[in-house]
Amino acid sequence: MSNKNKWLDYLLNIDRKVVYVIIFLSVALPFFLNPVVDIQPTKWVSAVYDEMEEAARTNKPIIIGFDYDPSTLAELDPMAKALLRHAFSRNIKVLGLNFIPNGTSLAATTMDDVAKEFGKEYGKDYVFFPYLPQYDLVLINFGDNFRKSYTQEFRGQPLENIPMLSNLQNYDDFHMVIDLSGTKLPTAYIMYGVTRYHFKFVTGCTAVSATEYFPYLQSGQMIGLITGMKGAAEYEGLVKANLNLPTGDGMRGMASQTWGHLVIIIFIVIGNILYYVRRRMSMEIK
C-alpha cells in the first residue's frame, strides 16, 4: 500500500525538467525519421487556394499583410512562403504591407528570398511598403488611394518610379487581401477595411487566435482562413499536389507536431488518472 502511494506521489509531483526533456525529444526525434505525412486540406484552406487561382485567372494583383514578428515566425513564415510561391508561380503581382514594426525586416527578407526562387523582379512583380503607425487610419485611406498614406516604398524610391503601381489606386484594383498575423490586425482589416470597402479578405493566423475568426467566416466578412503550422502544411500540400512546388517548413514540422500532440494528450489523460487514483486512496485512509 505505502510504496504504491510513494510511487504515485513521485509521479504526481514529478520534476518539471523531466517533462521538459520528454517534450523536447518528442519534437526533435521525428526530424531524424522524416516520415512522409500527407495532410487533407480543410474547407477554409482550400477556399484560399481557389481564390488565389481566381486571382491568377483575372490577373489582378493581391495584397499580403506581413503583420507578424519573430515570436510567431514559426507558424506564419511557412504560410507566407507557401502563399508567395503559389502567387509567383502563377505570375500574380504581390504588394506587401506591414503594421508590426518588429516584423519589417522579416517580411522584406521573406519576399526577396521567395522572389529570387522564381526570378521575380522588385518593383515589377512585387513591392513592399514601409511600416506605418496608426494602422486604422492607413487601412481606411487605402480604400480611397494608398498614395495618401504612402509616399515611398520600403527601399526609399517614390511610388511613381514603381512600374507595378502605375495602374493601381485602392482595394478595388486588387483581387483579394491576405493578412498574416497573430495580433488583432486581421480584425482591424475587417473593421476599417472590409466594412467600408467590401473587398475579399483572407486571414492567416496563429492557431491561438483561430476560434475568434469563425463568426466572420460564417457572416461572409472573411472568405478563407489558414490556421497555424497545420494550415501552412495543408496549403503546401495543395500547392505541391497541383503545381508540383516543393513543400516548406509547414510540412516538415508535421511529424514533430504529431508526436508533440500525442505526448500532450497522454500527459493530460495520465495526469487525471493518477490524480483521481491518489484522491480515492487518500479518501480510503481518512
Q: Identify residues 138-157 at the interface with another protein (CB under 8 A).
A: 138, 140-141, 144, 148-149, 151-152, 154-156
- Cβ atoms of 53 and 89 within 8 Å: the answer is no
Given the rule CB under 8 A, which of 1-9, 36-44, 83-91, 238-246 is the region that contacts another protein?
36-44
Can you tell me the distance from the alpha carbon of 247 to that of 78, in angstroms, rounded to the nearest whole number?
A: 9
Cβ 4 to another protein shortest distance, Å:
19
Q: Is 28 a residue that touches another protein (CB under 8 A)?
A: yes
* Spatial contact of 272 and 256, defined as CB atoms under 8 Å apart: no
Which one, 85 or 153, has the nearer CB to another protein? 153
Place of cell 503583420: 67
Nearest distance in Å: CB 128, another protein: 10
Q: How far is the CB of 41 from another protein (least distance, A)?
A: 11
Out of 136, 160, 163, 242, point to the residue binding another protein (CB under 8 A). 136
Q: How far apart are CA 31 and CA 253, in angstroms?
A: 8
Residues 165-224 that bind another protein (CB under 8 A): 167, 169-170, 172, 190-192, 194-196, 198, 206-212, 214-215, 217-221
Tell me how far, at minimum, the Cβ of 260 lies from another protein, in Å.
4
Scan residues 220-259 and list those touching another protein (CB under 8 A). 220-221, 227-230, 249, 252-254, 256-258
Q: Which of 112, 160, 161, 241 binds another protein (CB under 8 A)?
A: 112
> Near another protein by CB under 8 A, which window of 2-10, 38-46, 85-93, 237-245?
38-46
Torsion angle of the four alpha carbons 173, 178, 182, 185, in this order, in degrees rounded to the nearest 10: 20
**Residue closer to another protein (CB basis): 240 or 252:** 252
Read off the DSSP letter of residue 122. B
241-248 contact pairs (CB < 8 A, 24+): 242/49, 243/86, 243/89, 243/90, 245/85, 245/86, 245/89, 248/78, 248/81, 248/82, 248/85
Residue 73 CB: number of other CB atoms within 10 A?
Answer: 16
202 in Cβ contact with 177 (< 8 Å): yes
